[in-house]
Amino acid sequence: MLAAIVLAAGAGRRFGGGKMSALFEGVPLVHHAIAAACASPAEAVYVVVGDDALAANVLRLGKAEVVLASKDSDGMAASLRAGIEALPDACTGALIFLGDMPRVPIDVAQELVEAVQGDIIAAAPIIGERSGHPVLFARAAFSDLLALKGDVGAKSVLKALGGRVRYVPIADEGALFDVDTPEDLA
């Protein structure tokens, strides 16, 4: 069983708060990432949120299970850990989507699934020299993700895995586009 995790628990400090609910192309920002996750080969979608209001917003979509990150969380690592911990034992891998990345190309997830086999336990899209999202981790990498602390994401795990990661070249720069400030919504 493959799952998708959408990380949407951040405070959005650079944005001024409320980033995941801000409108992007007429709908809340996080809905774009949820739609991409739902269109992926994942059999289940989990959305990690940091507050009850966003949880209610996600639940109205009816397409994903909500995971509430701890209020005393220690940054991005805590959100990622909460998502991984919520996965059922039958889960063989997880596609990690970021809630502030509304233009992730839908077809890249299937390419990542095809890339993870044998000794390869993670895959990420790459455009030029920059890696993008979503990122796929096989269950063999979950312990590395659960060991993360602080305001760090999965990029450090990809680096540590070295040759066990396959980077899939793509052309769609939506895999790199994220919203950090209100100006990015335009």
C-alpha distances (whole Å) from 139 to each of 55, 92, 101, 142 are 26, 5, 24, 5
Residue 185 lies in a domain: no
DSSP for 114-153, written as a single string:
HH--TT--EEEEEETTEE-S-EEEEGGGHHHHHT--SS--
Is residue 107 one of the residues assigned to a domain? yes
Question: Does pLDDT of 73 surpass 80?
Answer: no
In a domain, 184, yes or no: no
Residue 109 lies in a domain: yes
In a domain, 183, yes or no: no
**CA–CA distance, 14 with 22 (Å, rounded to integer):** 13
Domain count for the chain: 1
Domain ranges, residue 93: 2-177
* C-alpha distances in Å from residue 156, one per residue of 106, 149, 178: 24, 11, 19
In SS3 terms, 18-80 reads as CHHHCEECCEEHHHHHHHHHHHCCCCEEEEEECCHHHHHHHHHHCCCEEEECCCCCCCHHHHH
Report the CATH number that the domain containing residue 85 is assigned in CATH.
Answer: 3.90.550.10
The pLDDT of residue 168: 97
151 lies in some domain? yes
* 8 Å CB contact between 51 and 10: no
Each residue's pLDDT tens digit, 78-136: 999 999 999 999 999 999 999 999 999 989 999 999 999 999 999 999 999 999 999 99
pLDDT tens-digit series, residues 127-179: 999 999 999 999 999 999 999 988 888 999 999 999 999 999 999 999 999 99
